[in-house]
Chains A and B, each alone.
Chain A
């Protein structure tokens, strides 16, 4: 959940109006990154004169630029065009409520959200969304695929000088899984994780062990080819911090023991937090940035234009006028970076036998699916800031097969066939069809509009009435997933790592959904455990097809957005990746980073922004 929340929040921030750069006039169509780039060039030349005149005074104050930039407390020398160190800070919004800046593996609210500044994860994602080792040097899977050995970096120490060993990693996961960590299900592939999590086995039985001080071994229930990817959220905690200071050590600068490149130096709840470089850090994530300031920050494009915030996301829920402003301003257009979709909205049906008849009848569900022209609705409502979804994997995700899934029956809009299916099930023209409620989890304006459109399509194409039930997060989760009392629900899931399993895992029987399909689960589990990537992906494609054909779910759309950050933010991690995407924060989107590989250069390119 922590991640969930992170991923979602990040996502909401990042997601959005990919089209911003390209939306000209009112008719927004999805912008391709290339379009944005082309406009950029023109813009820059246009703005050059303004830039020069405005920046002259500033340049005078500054001492002549040294051949290379300044060197920070970690010993990292900044590039020559970098601003002085006191300008090298990152502004982040403080968590609105909860989301304390504790350790990431803590239960409930008490954990870090926005970044991995103070904790070292086992692995991370580079800008090409590939997993790379962070706290380890390498990993190796056993012959039978049932355990993995991670070779830890021997030079790593906590900020108090104590070496980081495999025992700390074992302690971290055991503690998390046995003390109600609400994201615990994320690790259910690990041996005995379910039983330890539920208190049926002692923590010592968890499938994780220290072979020696610097070899961490993780056992899995079945072969789990994507195990290293789980490491992007697995961050080490200092055992001695818990022993010395108790549970809340991570919320107090006096007690904070860091394993990452930053250390907490100020923590004033609800007012502000500050992280500074941890000079004892010996790992490989070596940021140029010297400070992270978490404060209450204003929202909206004006704040971004005024320079009071350092990034903003524009998406389908951003005011259309803001999109127009971005579009009309050449500098803002250069600063626009379309983000890949990382989540998918879907409709789920409660198919539990006898619970909400006739939703347990696949023909009825198929009729409901075929009555929705999602391509039209999504493009109109999301104004180019979402891709229609044909399966759970968003477009561009590894193993995405949208083009094939699109041809499957549930994804084909055919009101006539839908009517016939409904008639066949005993509800000609929708007569006698019960009035169901569709529960919607914390809808924003676009999603609400989409649900109203779907409601209207069901009414006019099938003659049936469905009531919409927007709901706060907790009421939704309690009703739809816990009590399983929602007949139809509209909900979202976003990725935690870049493997199809991140999405497909939640559809296993016994997960959150009111739908049981042991056959699919068995097929999927078997496919998922195949170590040969090619064969595995082929079978996972088949699993996704079967998921669509089960019509227990109807996948609607994957929203995405455009992220803006100032053009004077430079560095290797904000460069375009192999697909042309650029990410903010120090690496690939979908997991936490420590702002490595980015720095502030001369802001001349922003002159004339106002």
Chain B
């Protein structure tokens, strides 16, 4: 097991290395550059040259990369062009807790609600309940975010005054963003759960269990759910890193601090250290999630043995 995890970490390191080279080259090849951000009248070549010299962008690309790599190995991801007083690592460290709280709650809401609805839907397949849940699940995922954001903020906050429309504060501030973030995802979770449950319910051992007189609840939880778990985990676990790194839409509409905006803005602003730093951070997160998924496969399904996979 330990050897397996070690091997996986070696793999992750290789992935990160390849990804960093790819991202590094790509970010420097995209037209434009940090010096053009917000510029109405492009600078003269001398100006651009001076800028490049100041930030070490005038050296050959491979040299710049090696410098970056050397620093990255000590967790120093550089200083964002747009935020000279802070390092990329410290910025991520500062903003991640906000995003993680909102996104974590939203993912939990989405999965709890979605799995509950999905199980109900599967247990009563092709009844009116199933149809209602299906309609909800599909529709909630196609509601444009601007409609969802406005409806929540207008009725629950502006009209009824139950919650603030946004900003960072107590738990009440979290309610609307978590709903707006989690609800659309719950639809997909419900549909996927239903699908996986139905697959599992069609099997002989479920019929056997029923025949033995096991109650429905028992069958559903002990036999069906357990066997539906692998595809569910495959799909649901990455929701956590995905949502806990924030969303530009949720942060902007509800006025929350967070990382989500930087995934987009660092690219449009051509903020090279930010682009690289945030990509590396995300890659590490997602790779670890996949590792956990694979380990969970083995725990849930004894047939899948980690040791053997590693072999």
Contact = CB atoms under 8 A, between A and B. Distances in A.
Nearest to A110: B84
A248 B79 CA distance: 12
Contacts of B44: 197-198
Interface stretch (B63-71, B153-161, B210-218, B293-301): B153-161
Nearest to A252: B85
B256 A108 contact: no
Interface in B50-106: 50-51, 54, 81-86, 91, 94-95, 98
A472 B267 CA distance: 10
Given A308-B164, A475-B32, A477-B36, A96 B82 contact: no
Interface in A465-501: 472-475, 477-479, 481-482, 493
B270 interface: yes
B35 interface: yes
B240 interface: no
A231 interface: no
Contacts of B94: 268-271
A180 B164 contact: no
Interface stretch (A16-24, A296-304, A384-392, A419-427): A296-304
A352 to B, nearest CB: 16
Given A100-B84, A297-B255, A306-B158, A473 B166 contact: no
B159 A610 contact: yes
B42 A180 contact: no
A97 B39 CA distance: 15
A593 B304 CA distance: 66
A303 B32 contact: no
Contact of B85 (A251, A272, A511): A251
A305 B158 contact: yes
B35 to A, nearest CB: 7
A295 interface: yes
Interface stretch (B7-15, B18-26, B127-135, B246-254): B246-254
A98 B82 CA distance: 4
Contacts of B41: 185, 481, 506, 511-512
A96 B261 contact: yes
B174 to A, nearest CB: 13
Contacts of B254: 298
B37 A98 contact: yes
B229 to A, nearest CB: 38
A302 B154 contact: yes
A180 B165 contact: no
A295 to B, nearest CB: 6
A300 B269 contact: no
Interface in A38-67: none
Given A96-B252, A251-B84, A300-B253, A493 B153 contact: no
Nearest to A6: B38
Interface in A203-262: 247-248, 251-252
B46 interface: yes
B85 A302 contact: no
Contacts of B252: 96, 299
B153 to A, nearest CB: 4
A109 B83 contact: yes
Interface in A1-20: 1-2, 4-5
B165 A308 contact: yes
A610 B46 contact: no
B235 interface: no
Contacts of B95: 270-271
A319 interface: yes
Contacts of A402: none
Given A303-B157, A306-B164, A512-B41, 9 more contacts: A97-B266, A182-B35, A197-B47, A270-B94, A296-B256, A300-B165, A308-B167, A319-B146, A475-B32
Q: Which 8 A-B pairs have the closest CB atoms?
A: A298-B166, A98-B82, A474-B32, A302-B153, A302-B158, A251-B85, A303-B165, A109-B82
Interface of B: 31-44, 46-47, 50-51, 54, 81-86, 91, 94-95, 98, 146, 149-150, 153-154, 157-159, 161, 164-168, 251-258, 261-262, 265-266, 268-271
11 contacts: A96-B252, A98-B83, A197-B47, A247-B84, A252-B85, A267-B85, A295-B255, A305-B154, A306-B164, A473-B268, A610-B159
